[in-house]
Amino acid sequence: MNDARVLDTVRDALRADRIDIYLQPIVSLPQRKHRFYEVFSRVRAADGQQIMPDRYLAIAGREGLIATIDNLLLVRCIQLIRETERRQHAIGFFSNISAATLSDAEFMKHFLKMMAQNQALVPKLVFELGQADLRAGGAVTMGILQQLARLGFHFSMDQVTDLDLDIESLQRHEFRYVKLDRALVLDPALTDRVIDLRRRLGAEGIDLIVEKIETETQLVEILDIGFDFGQGFLFGEPRLSRKPG
């Protein structure tokens, strides 16, 4: 598909409710016990073809559709949390949230009101933001995060490319998790910095999650460094979530 056709497919999928929700486990190490699920969206074309996020997110972002997709994802997250509450499963959900969604005043007003009325669900949902989005958003983004934090929400930072983190700011704004790509963690040139970062984050109550773990060999190397959480195809690929009802 070229970009124009991808855009048409995304718009059609939004109209026809063909944005599918997938879940991938985040596990505790070394036990490999499921502690969280990360929630992903995938676009399904009318012919059943799936379009992955790395193909449509940039295009959707340019056309102002990301907030719509994020909103759908958040509503589905709340449904999933309610389902697990009914089944008494002690598991949480990570959901990406973009700067576009955070700045959608109307949606955030309704969302904050809904969560204030459903306070028991708040600890089960972790909002995930990319490092670049956090830096670009600046004071405005942090102000909105503070509103969410006052309700009791916690946050995770992903898409980390620069290990020079402002840990004090992360801790102050209720970031409890940082995700690092497995390739970054296992880069021999960065080993000492990664170990030091893990130690400093741990001292502030922030857990590191290593993502994109695909083989047992990679896991052994990661366990040698010492991490508490992992994510990747080794522990389970993203699987389609049932729609409620």
Please state the domain extents for the chain.
18-38+64-240
Rg (CA), the chain: 18
Q: Which tens digit of pLDDT belongs to each residue from 71-126?
A: 888 888 888 888 887 776 778 999 988 877 887 778 788 888 888 888 888 999 99
Encoding tokens for residue 159?
A: 């898409």
Query: Beta 175-181 vs 207-211: how paired, if at all?
Result: parallel
Considering only residues 209 and 57, tell me which one the structure prediction assigns the higher pLDDT.
209
Element (H or E) spanning 53, and its range? helix 53-62
The DSSP code for 173 is: T
Element (H or E) spanning 137, and its range? helix 131-151
Quick one: CA dihedral 165, 202, 127, 109, positive or negative? negative
Q: How confident is the model at residue 245 (pLDDT cuts 50, 70, 90)?
A: very low
Distance CA 41, CA 96 (A): 10
Name the nearest CA neighbour of 2 among 55, 54, 42.
55
Considering only residues 184 and 82, tell me which one the structure prediction assigns the higher pLDDT.
184
Q: Which tens digit of pLDDT belongs to each residue from 168-178?
A: 999 999 999 99
Q: Tell whether pTM > 0.85.
A: yes
The runs of H, that is alpha helices, within 158-190 are 167-172, 182-185
CATH T-level fold of 18-38+64-240: TIM Barrel (3.20.20)
**Residue 133: is its pLDDT beyond 90?**
no
Q: Work out the angle at residue 104's Cα, subtended by the Cα atoms of residues 99 and 110, and round it to the nearest 5 degrees.
A: 125
Name the nearest CA neighbour of 212 among 225, 230, 227, 224.
230
